[in-house]
Structure 1
Amino acid sequence: MIRWRKGTVEGVRREWPGAVELDVTVEGDGIRRALAYPALVGRPEPGDAVLLNTTALAMGLGTGGYAMVVAIPDRLPPDPSGPGHLVKARYTPLQATVLGADEQDSPHHELLREADSLDGMPVIVADLHSALPPILAGLLTDRPGAKVVYVMPDGGALPSWFSMSIGRLRDAGVLSGVVTAGQAFGGDLEAVTVHTGLLGARLVLGADAVVLAQGPGNLGTGTRWGFSGVSAGEAVNAAAVLSGRPVGSLRVSEGDLRERHQGVSHHSLTAYGRVALARAEIVVPELGGEFGTRVASQAATLGERHDLIPVGVEGLEDVLRTAEKDWGVRMSTMGRRLDEDLAYFLTAAAAGRHTAARLA
């Protein structure tokens, strides 16, 4: 289940908030990329011996193709101090204790104890983490003063630090906060469930709107139900039960070679069409042409269960290219850039544009 290796740190490649990318000499395998989370294992330095988990590296995973630093055995970090009784990544070798926004020792416990409403706050739900930047671009172009918080459930990466996008969006001042829910950790607020994560985003961080999508590294098996994106449907239910306004962003692709993801992905059709029991506003981009007709036809199958909202995409390509340049964040999904799958990014930006109109 785990491929264990020893290695030696050769140097630091780059870093972003919460993560350090390294060159590590792996015994019997040469120099490889490795990733360390200093909050968990301490900060590796050149010359350090490190214990590695090379499972993802050996499998050739795209988003997770790193050797992961498990420990710096000759230079252990100091014991943590401070409050916090929530254990995340529970009963794994790297289980970590965090201070939950909703736990008894939290300064926010009383605020959240009986909290039960989002007061109509929009919650934009998406399947993939790559939807976060284009959704923000579409929303903030029309509502530049809006306070948008990202709520990250545990369907993909558990540490929010794995996401370079989060760090760059924070640095650009366009993402106001991060809440990590369930087994996910590393956000500004930690929450036990998506429900308290949403309440924390609204009541503690003062969000005008939330984007809720899994972290990088989603999991799919090519089966009807075996994909982590089913959580998008569950997120719609959570937002609705808390009196929020669920907004569904469709996963649309013109560049994916897999039939099940062409046009409107079966991930969206299943999550919104079968898993989501509450009504949501499903944004349908007006893409035009034969492909746009195909997308509209596929989305129409969701019409009995949800409110379908046609949204124009005029000007959004320029918005996306400007955001990519100004924010220093790469628009990329499943290895495809803007020019390789423009429809995907336009669809996510359209969900942001629709939400901006709701905030006006």
Structure 2
Amino acid sequence: MMQWREGVVVRQIREWPGAVEYAVTLAPAADAPTEVRALAYTAMVGRPEVGDRVVLNASALLKGLGTGGLAFVVAVPDRLPADAPDSPGHIVKARYTPQQQMFLAVDEQDSPHHHVLRDAESVEGMPVVVADLHSSLPAVIAGVRTVDPDARVAYVMTDGGALPLAFSRAVAGLKEAGWLTSTITVGQAFGGDHEAVSLHSGLLAAKHVAGADVTVVTQGPGNVGTGTRWGYSGVAAADALHATTALGGTPVAALRVSGADPRPRHRGISHHSTTAYGDALFSPAVVPVPAGGGELAALVRSQAATLAERSRADLEVVEVGTEGLLEALRSSPVRLSTMGRGLEEDLAAFVVSAVAGVCAAQRVSAR
């Protein structure tokens, strides 16, 4: 159910590529504060100015859901943005919703890359790191960079979480710092450097258009979970590993791990990883785990061994050294945060993601 509110922009809070956050005052209402934070996607609604009347979607804000405490600007009704210049492309994303948009997909007939992707059948062994959570992305890249600081890393964002890539301040910061070479949004997700119709064509574009050495696949921010075995958006990690295998890539399954989550099902290796890699996956994958001492690292290795024994897939558990990873993680150009916890609060979550990046980069070097 949509909950609409009307307000007036009073100030700009911050901005990053594709998005601007504002303070908006609302008409007094019993169920909402008088001032809220509201996000405007500039490609969709233009750029509101102080004093503009705005229409907001406040549904998740009023429910207290994990959208960062934000309402979303739906329209600036008194000052509509000008039409964008005519351009090629006919692929519609967020299809059949009031926010649907039309894009030039990298794989469609009007694309200058169509002939490349039309004929491409393989990613030629490219390592593809697949992770459950968007928050793993900077940690995976930090691991890659400990092996090869000049590696070309592409990010393929699936549509399991946020659909607009512009919602991710992390991606904006990683791009600005040069840690990410290219972004590709697939399925219903949109706003990347390249759009692709499917995950498969997105992976092919990462290799043959972006020239990536390593590709990372995760959903956008805002994963969905229900506390049930199968009811979570990250189960699609298995599909991404299947796609990687189908295209001749090297599938690297990053484990979701926590040493601080209060929920027992997410301590050590999360049940999200054991379900995705143990029950939903049918193709081979490499599963990196941290080498070395420490009670939690030993637990993760033991749990990973058990996972490999019971999995329907052929999982290769690989121990990866953690030397230099803490320094690499601390050098991240964007804040590391997972489920509201930072690096020092849940170190294991980020180290285990980083060892997946190390493993992927080592596979590039060995080819």
Question: Is 1:91 aligned to 2:96, yes or no?
Answer: yes
Q: Tell me by how many angstroms 1:64 deviates.
A: 4.0
Code of the residue aligned with 2:81 in structure 1: it is P
**How far has the Cα of 1:301 moved from its partner?**
2.4
Partner of 2:77: 73
Q: How does 1:296-335 map to 2 (within 5 A)?
A: 296-304=301-309, 305-323=314-332, 327=333, 329-335=334-340
Structure 1 CA distance for aligned equivalents of residues 255 and 46 of structure 2: 39
Report SS of the residue matched to 2:8: strand
Q: Does 1:341 align with 2:346?
A: yes
CA offset digits 1:272-295 (Å, max 9, x no partner): 111121101011112633222221
SS for the counterpart of 1:10 is strand
1:116 counterpart residue number: 121
User: What is the TM-score when the length of structure 1 is the normalising length?
Assistant: 0.97
Q: Which amino acid aligns with 2:308?
A: G
Q: Distance in 2 between matches of 1:282 and 1:54?
A: 40
- Which residue of 278, 284, 295 corresponds with 2:283? 278
Match of 1:142 in 2: 147
Q: CA deviation at 1:94?
A: 0.4
Q: Secondary structure at the match of 2:15?
A: strand
Letter of the structure 1 residue corresponding to residue 27 of structure 2: E
Aligned residues: 356
CA deviation string 1:152-176 (max 9, x = no partner): 0000000000000001001101100
Q: Tell me what 2:268 maps to.
A: 263
Query: Which secondary structure does the structure 2 equivalent of 1:302 belong to?
Result: helix
Aligned to 1:26: 26
State yes or no: 1:35 paired with 2:39: yes
1:318: how far off? 1.6
| Residue number in structure 2 paired with 1:106 | 111
* Structure 1 partner of 2:53: 49
Deviation per CA, 1:43-94, whole angstroms, max 9, x where unpaired?
0100111110001111222344211000111111122321120110111110
- Using the aligned pairs only, state the percent identity: 58
Aligned to 1:13: 13
Q: Secondary structure at the match of 1:303?
A: helix
Deviates more, 1:287-296 or 1:41-50: 287-296
Letter in 2 for 1:346: V
3-state DSSP class of the match of 2:82? coil
Instruction: Verify the 8 A CA contact 1:282 1:307 in the aligned structure 2.
Output: yes
Q: Cα deviation per residue 1:85-113 (whole Å; 9 max; x = unaligned)?
A: 01101111101111111111111111111
TM-score normalized with structure 2 length:
0.95
Q: Distance in 1 between matches of 2:63 and 2:291?
A: 39
Structure 2: which amino acid aligns with 1:52? L
Amino acid corresponding to residue 4 of structure 1 in structure 2: W
Q: Are the counterparts in 2 of residues 56 and 64 from structure 1 also a CA contact under 8 Å?
A: no
Distance 1:76 1:83 in 2: 23
State the match for 1:216 in structure 2.
221
**In 2: Cα distance, 1:269 partner to 1:98 partner:** 36
C-alpha contact (below 8 Å) 1:9/1:50 kept by paired residues: yes
State the 1:307 CA deviation.
0.6
For 1:170 and 1:149, the matched residues in 2 are separated by 10
Runs of 4+ off more than 3 Å: none
Indicate the residue corresponding to 1:167 in structure 2: 172
C-alpha displacement at 1:246, in angstroms?
0.5
- The question of whether the paired residues in 2 share the 8 Å contact of 1:64 and 1:217 is answered with no
CA drift at 1:315: 2.4
**Match among 65, 85, 96 for residue 61 of structure 1:** 65
Displacement of 1:231 in angstroms is: 1.0
- Cα distance in 1 between the residues matched to 2:323 and 2:114: 44
Tell me the secondary structure at the aligned position of residue 25 of structure 1. strand
What is the letter of the counterpart of residue 329 of structure 2? L
Letter in 2 for 1:322: S
Q: Does 1:151 align with 2:156?
A: yes
Secondary structure of the corresponding residue to residue 45 of structure 1:
coil
- Which residue identity is paired with 1:317? L
Aligned-residue Cα RMSD (Å) equals 1.1
1:294 paired to 2:299: yes
- Post-superposition Cα deviations, 1:294-348, rounded to whole Å, max 9, x if no partner, equal 211211123243111111213211221122xxx2x00110000111100001001
Query: How far apart are the structure 2 equivalents of 1:181 and 1:287?
Result: 37
1:228 paired to 2:228: no
Q: Which residue of 2 aligns with 1:182?
A: 187
User: Take 1:10 and 1:343, find their aligned partners in 2: how far apart are those partners?
Assistant: 41
Which secondary structure state, in structure 1, belongs to the residue aligned with residue 242 of structure 2?
A: helix
Given that 1:248 and 1:351 are in contact with CA atoms closer than 8 Å, whether structure 2 keeps it comes out as yes
State the distance in 1 between where 2:266 and 2:292 align.
Answer: 17
Q: Which amino acid aligns with 2:14?
A: R
